[in-house]
A and B are shown apart, each in its own frame.
Chain A
Amino acid sequence: MDELIRTTEKALNVKKREDMHIVIVGHVDHGKSTVIGRLLADNNMLPEGKIEQIKEKCRRNSKPFEYAFLLDALKDEQSQGITIDTARTFFTTEKRNYIILDAPGHVEFLKNMVTGAARAEAALMVVDANEGVMENSKRHGYLLSMLGVKQIAVLINKMDAVGYSKERFDDIKTEYGAFLESIGITASSFIPVSGMQGDNIVNSGAKNMPWYCGVTVMDQLEAFDSKGDNSRLPLRIPVQGVYKFTGNNDDRRIIAGTVETGVLNVGDEITFYPSGKTTVAKTIEMYNADVQTSAEAGSATGFTMSQQIYAMRGDIAVKSNEPQPKVSNGIIANVFWLGKEPLVKGKSYTVKLGTAKVKARIESVNKVLDASTLNNIQKSEIARNEVGECNISFERQIAFDIVDENPITSRFVLIDDYEICGGGIVTAEKAIGGGNITRDDALITRDERVLASKQRGHVLWLTGLSGSGKSTISGALERVLNSMGYSCYRLDGDNLRFGLNKDCDFTDRGRDENLRRAAEVARLFADAGLITICTFISPKGEQRANARACVGELGFSQVYVKASVEECARRDPKGLYKKAFEGSIKGFTGVDSPYDEPVDADIVIDTEETSVDGAVDMLLNYLSDNGIIY
Chain B
Amino acid sequence: MDHIEKLESRSIHILREAYSSFKDLCMLWSIGKDSTVMLRLAQKAFFGHVPFPLVHIDTCYKIKEMIEYRDRLAMLYDLDIIYGVNEKAIAEKMTFPDGNCSRIKCCELLKTQALTDTLNGTGVRYRFNHKTGKYERDTNTQPYTGVIVGVRADEEGSRSKERYFSPRNENNDWDIANQPPEFWNQYKTDFKPGTHVRIHPLLDWTEVDIWEYVRREGIPTVSLYYDKGDGKRYRSLGCWPCTTPIDSTAKNVDEIIEELRSGKLKNVAERSGRQQDKEDGGGLEDLRKGGYM
Q: Residues of A at under 8 Å CB distance from B? A: 1, 3-19, 46-49, 57, 73-76, 84-90, 97, 99, 111-112, 114-115, 117-119, 147, 240-241, 243, 245, 247-248, 250, 252, 254, 256-258, 285-288, 296, 298-300, 302, 313, 338, 350, 352, 355, 411-413, 415, 418-420, 423
Beyond known contacts A10-B216, A14-B216: 6 more, CB 8 A cutoff: A6-B223, A74-B161, A75-B285, A240-B17, A338-B181, A411-B184
Partner of B215, one of A8, A241, A248: A8
Contacts of B232 in A (CB 8 A): none
| Bound CA span A47–B176, Å | 25
A258 to chain B, nearest CB (A): 5
Instruction: Determine the distance from Cα of A9 to Cα of B252 in the docked complex, in whole angstroms.
Output: 11
Give Cα A405–Cα B20 distance, bound, in whole angstroms: 28
Is the CB of B219 closer than 8 A to any CB of chain A? Answer: yes
Q: In the complex, are the beta carbons of B188 and A258 less than 8 A apart?
A: no
How far is B269's CA from A465's CA once the two chains are assembled, in angstroms? 74
Chain B CB within 10 A, most for which of A5, A46, A298, A412:
A5
* 13 A-B contacts (beta carbon < 8 Å): A6-B226, A8-B218, A8-B252, A12-B215, A17-B2, A17-B3, A111-B180, A115-B183, A147-B183, A296-B1, A300-B10, A355-B20, A420-B181
Shortest CB distance B193–A (Å): 10
| Minimal beta-carbon separation of A28 from chain B (angstroms) | 15
Is B230 an interface residue, CB under 8 A from the partner?
no
Q: With a CB–CB cut-off of 8 A, which chain A residues contact B17?
A: 240, 355
- Indicate if B93 sits at the interface (CB-CB under 8 A): no
Partner of B157, one of A11, A73, A257, A412: A73
Tell me if B170 is interfacial: C-beta within 8 Å of chain A.
no
Q: Is the CB of A4 within 8 A of B223?
A: yes
Q: Do B20 and A240 have beta carbons less than 8 Å apart? A: yes
Task: Judge whether A300 and B268 touch: CB under 8 Å.
Answer: no
For the complex, give the distance between the alpha carbons of A415 and B182 in Å.
Answer: 12
Does B254 reach chain A (CB closer than 8 Å)?
A: yes
Task: List chain B residues, Cβ under 8 A from A8.
Answer: 214-215, 218, 252-254
One digit per residue, 1 when the CB lies within 8 angstroms of any chain A CB and 0 when it does not, for chain B 141-163 equals 00000000000011011101101
- Contact present for B220 and A418 (CB under 8 Å): no
Contacts of B78 in A (CB 8 A): 247-248
Complex CA gap A247/B20 in Å reads 19
Partner of B49 from the list A5, A247, A413 (CB cut-off 8 Å) is A247
Residues of B contacting A243 in the complex (Cβ-Cβ under 8 angstroms):
46-47
Q: Which residue of A lies closest to B3 (CB)?
A: A19
- Nearest CB of chain A from residue B198's CB, rounded to whole Å: 15
Which B residues touch A248, using CB under 8 A? Answer: 48, 78
* Residue from B9, B69, B217 with most neighbouring chain A CB atoms (10 Å): B9
- Cβ of B68 under 8 Å from chain A: yes
**B184 adjacent to A419 (CB under 8 Å):** no
Q: How large is the interface on B (under 10, 10 to 19, 20 to 34, 35 or more residues)?
A: 35 or more
B173 beta carbon closer than 8 Å to chain A: no
* Set A112, A117, A288, A420: member contacting B44, Cβ < 8 A: A288
Please give me the 3 A-B residue pairs with the lowest Cβ-Cβ distance, nearest first: A73-B157, A118-B183, A111-B181
Instruction: List residues of chain A with CB within 8 A of the CB of B191.
Output: 418
Asked if A119 contacts B183 (CB within 8 A), the reply is: yes
Assess whether A245 is in contact with B46, with CB atoms less than 8 Å apart.
yes
The answer to whether the Cβ of B8 comes within 8 Å of any Cβ in the partner chain is yes
Q: Which residues of B contact A73 (CB under 8 A)?
A: 156-158, 160
B32 to chain A, nearest CB (A): 14
The listed residue (A99, A257, A300, A423) touching B183 by CB distance below 8 A is: A423
User: Is B47's CB under 8 angstroms from A245's CB?
Assistant: yes
Q: Is the CB of A90 within 8 A of B180?
A: no
A-B contact count (CB 8 A): 196
Chain A contacts for B176, CB-based, 8 A: 74, 76, 84-85
Q: Which parts of B27-52 form the interface with A (CB within 8 Å)?
A: 40, 43-49, 51
| Chain B, Cβ-Cβ closest to A11 | B215
Name the distance in Å between B212's Cβ and chain A's nearest Cβ: 6
With A1-B72, A241-B20, A420-B180 known as contacts, the answer to whether A7 contacts B49 (CB < 8 A) is no
Q: Which residues of the other chain, B, contact A412 by a CB distance below 8 angstroms? A: 184, 186
Distance in Å: Cβ of B79 to nearest Cβ of chain A: 11
Please name the residue on chain B nearest to A414 by beta carbon. B186
CB proximity of B237 to chain A, nearest CB, Å: 14
Task: Name the residue on B nearest A247 (C-beta).
Answer: B49
B6 lies within 8 A of A19 (CB)? yes
Instruction: Determine whether the beta carbon of B216 is less than 8 Å from that of A12.
Output: yes
Does the CB pair A254–B3 fall under 8 Å?
no
Assess the B68–A4 pair: CB atoms within 8 A.
yes
- Chain B contacts for A256, CB-based, 8 A: 16, 45, 47
Check A6–B252 contact: CB distance below 8 A: yes
* Residues of B with C-beta under 8 A to A1: 68, 72
Residues of B within 8 A of A257 (CB): 16
With known contacts A47-B268, A87-B160, A418-B190, A413–B184 Cβ distance under 8 A = yes
Smallest Cβ distance from A37 to chain B, in angstroms? 13
Q: Is B281's beta carbon under 8 Å from chain A?
A: yes
Complex Cα distance, B176 from A87, in Å, reads 12
Interface contact B177-A76, CB-CB below 8 Å: yes
Is B98's beta carbon under 8 Å from chain A?
Answer: no
**Which listed residue (A84, A89, A115, A240) contacts B181, Cβ 8 A?**
A115
Distance from B76 Cβ to chain A, minimum over Cβ atoms (Å): 9
Q: A74 vs B185: C-alpha distance in the bound complex, in angstroms?
A: 26
A6 x B44 contact (CB < 8 A): no
Kindly state whether residue B110 has any CB partner on chain A within 8 Å: no
Q: How far is the CB of A1 from chain B (nearest CB, A)?
A: 7
Q: What are the residues of chain A within 8 A of B179 when measuring CB–CB?
A: 85, 112
A3-B223, A84-B177, A240-B17 given; A419·B254 CB < 8 A? no
Q: How many Å lie between the Cα of A76 and that of B174 in the bound state?
A: 13
* B277: interface (CB < 8 Å): no
Q: Beyond A1-B72, A6-B252, is A48–B48 a contact (Cβ under 8 Å)?
A: no
Contact B181 A112 (CB under 8 A): yes
User: Which residue of the partner chain, among B153, B177, B218, contacts A10 with CB atoms under 8 Å?
Assistant: B218
Closest chain B residue to A454, Cβ basis = B23
Partner of B72, one of A4, A147, A245: A4
Q: Is the CB of A302 within 8 A of B47?
A: yes
How far, in whole Å, are A413 and B157 apart by their CA atoms in the complex? 29
A7 to B16, CA, bound (A): 27
